[in-house]
């Protein structure tokens, strides 16, 4: 009888992805996962890729890894870091609050 294990869907999708695009995504996920607390990464574009492509790939890798990252561009370089979680835990949004309709 085969052995059965439960794995998160995100992990299964990441592991089973194949092809050139998946290989690139794995590479960029490695860049994101190497970041420690209070650290930022820097990627510099070379002649074979554009800064826009780097930004797009970082965003896709972060989404696949389930992490929120900040991506900033400066000339031919792309800086990125993991977005700190909301410490209050309330998930409140900025700006004017919505009007609550009262039932009455």
Helix H, strand E, coil C: the string for the chain is: CCCCCCCCHHHHHHHHCCCHHHHHHHHHHHHHHCCCCCCCEEEECCCCCCHHHHHHHHHHHHHHHCCCEEEEEECCEEEEEECCCCCCCCCCCCCCCCCCCCCC
Q: Domain coordinates of the chain in residue numbers?
A: 9-82
pTM above threshold 0.75:
no
pLDDT at 86 over 70: no
CATH number of 9-82, picked from 1.20.58, 3.30.110, 3.30.70, 3.40.50: 3.30.110
**Are the beta carbons of 65 and 59 closer than 8 angstroms?**
no
With cut-offs at 50, 70 and 90, classify the pLDDT of residue 40: very high
With cut-offs at 50, 70 and 90, classify the pLDDT of residue 78: very high
pLDDT at 89 over 70: no
């Amino acid at each position: 009888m085969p052995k059965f294990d439960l794995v998160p869907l995100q992990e299964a999708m990441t592991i089973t992805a194949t092809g050139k695009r998946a290989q690139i995504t794995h590479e960029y996920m490695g860049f994101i996962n190497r970041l420690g607390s209070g650290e930022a990464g820097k990627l510099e574009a070379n002649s074979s890729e554009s800064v826009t492509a780097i930004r797009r790939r970082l965003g896709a890798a972060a989404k696949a890894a389930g992490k929120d990252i900040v991506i900033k561009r400066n000339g031919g370089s792309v800086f990125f870091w993991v977005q700190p979680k909301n410490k209050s835990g309330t998930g409140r949004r900025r700006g004017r609050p919505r009007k609550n309709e009262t039932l009455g």
